[in-house]
C-alpha cells in the first residue's frame, strides 16, 4: 500500500498530552445529506412533490426537470467553490470547471438517491446540500494537490512542541516515545497510516479515500478501530484516564 501520509506546510506542534488526546478522540463525522429522518405527517410540500414526480417520469417533463435541477445545483456549487477560493489564491484557477463538475456529480447523486427523499425539508434544500458537499470535496482535493510530505509515524519529535524547560522537554520526549511504541505495537500498518494521516497530518478524509482507492466509511472504521486499540493501551499504561485525557 502506498504511503499516503501528508503534512501541511505550517503544521502546528503538539505537546505530549494534546497529542494523546488528539489521537484517541473520536472524530465528528460529517453527515451525509441522506437519508433523512421520517417526514412530518403532512409529507412533502406541493413544490417538492412536483420535483420528485417530474424526475421520476420520462420524456420532456423529466428532461426539463433535470435541466432545472442542474442549474439549481450549479448555483450552489459555484457559491461553495468561490467561497473556498476567496481565502486561497492558489485555488482560484479553474473554479468554473470545478463548479460545473461538482454540479454534475451532485445531479447524479440526487437522481441515484431520489427514493431516500422523505420530505423533511424542501426538495430544493435537500438537493442543494449535495452540490455543497461535492464542491467542498473537490476544493479540498485541489487544496491538497502537491502537498505530499511523508511524516514517519515512528518519529513523534516532529510534532512535539518545545516547552519552557529542558526537564519538561525530556518528559515530553518520553511520553511521545511511549505513544509511538503503542502505535507501532498495537496497530496494523494500515491503521497507523490512517491514524497519522487523518489525526496528525489533517488530510481530508475524502482525499485519503481517493488516494487509497477506498471509501470514507472504510476509513472511518479503520480510524475508529485504531483509536479504540490505542486508547485501551494508553489507559492500561496509566497515560490516559477514562475520559480519554492525558494524565
Residue numbers of the domain that contains 177 = 16-28+148-236
For the chain, what is the domain count? 2
Say what the pLDDT of residue 153 is: 47
How large is the average pLDDT for residues 58-69? 94
Q: With a cut of 80, say whether residue 216 has pLDDT above it.
A: yes
Among the three residues 128, 143, 158, which one is the final residue of a domain in this structure? 143
Give yes or no: residues 159 and 217 share one domain: yes
Which uninterrupted H or E stretch holds 221? helix 216-236
Among the three residues 111, 143, 175, which one is the final residue of a domain in this structure? 143
Q: With a cut of 70, say whether residue 240 has pLDDT above it.
A: no
Give yes or no: residues 53 and 134 share one domain: yes
Comparison of pLDDT for 153 and 230, the residue scoring more: 230
Q: Determine which of 27-31, 46-50, 62-66, 234-238 has the lowest per-residue pLDDT on average.
A: 27-31
5 falls within a domain = no
Give yes or no: residues 139 and 152 share one domain: no
Among the three residues 112, 143, 174, which one is the final residue of a domain in this structure? 143
Say what the pLDDT of residue 10 is: 40
Residue 42 pLDDT grade (very low, low, confident, very high; cuts 50, 70, 90)? low
Q: With a cut of 90, say whether residue 105 has pLDDT above it.
A: yes
39 falls within a domain = no
Return contacts of 52-60, CB within 8 angstroms, 24+ apart.
Answer: 52/114, 52/117, 52/123, 55/111, 55/114, 56/114
Give yes or no: residues 95 and 74 share one domain: yes
Residue 152 pLDDT grade (very low, low, confident, very high; cuts 50, 70, 90)? very low
Amino acid at each position: 500500500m502506498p504511503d499516503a501520509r501528508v503534512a501541511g506546510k505550517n503544521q502546528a506542534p503538539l505537546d505530549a498530552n494534546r497529542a494523546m488526546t488528539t489521537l484517541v478522540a473520536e472524530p465528528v463525522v460529517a453527515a451525509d445529506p441522506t437519508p433523512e429522518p421520517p417526514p412530518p405527517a403532512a409529507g412533502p410540500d406541493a413544490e417538492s412533490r412536483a420535483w420528485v414526480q417530474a424526475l421520476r417520469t420520462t420524456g420532456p417533463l423529466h428532461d426539463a426537470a433535470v435541466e432545472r435541477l442542474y442549474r439549481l445545483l450549479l448555483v450552489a456549487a459555484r457559491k461553495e467553490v468561490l467561497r473556498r477560493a476567496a481565502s486561497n489564491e492558489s485555488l482560484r484557477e479553474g473554479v468554473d470547471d470545478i463548479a460545473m463538475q461538482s454540479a454534475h456529480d451532485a445531479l447524479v447523486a440526487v437522481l441515484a438517491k431520489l427514493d431516500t427523499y422523505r420530505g423533511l425539508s424542501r426538495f430544493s434544500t435537500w438537493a442543494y446540500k449535495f452540490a455543497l458537499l461535492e464542491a467542498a470535496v473537490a476544493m479540498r482535493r485541489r487544496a491538497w494537490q502537491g502537498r505530499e510530505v511523508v511524516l514517519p509515524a515512528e518519529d513523534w519529535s516532529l510534532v512535539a512542541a518545545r516547552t519552557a524547560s529542558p526537564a519538561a522537554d525530556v518528559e515530553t520526549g518520553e511520553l511521545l516515545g511511549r505513544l509511538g511504541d503503542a502505535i507501532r505495537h498495537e496497530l496494523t500498518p494500515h491503521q497507523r497510516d490512517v491514524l497519522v494521516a487523518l489525526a496528525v497530518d489533517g488530510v481530508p478524509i475524502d482525499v485519503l479515500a481517493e488516494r487509497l482507492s477506498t471509501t470514507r466509511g472504510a476509513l472511518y472504521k479503520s480510524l475508529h478501530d485504531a483509536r479504540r486499540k490505542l486508547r485501551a493501551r494508553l489507559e492500561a499504561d496509566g497515560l490516559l484516564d477514562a475520559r480519554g485525557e492525558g494524565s
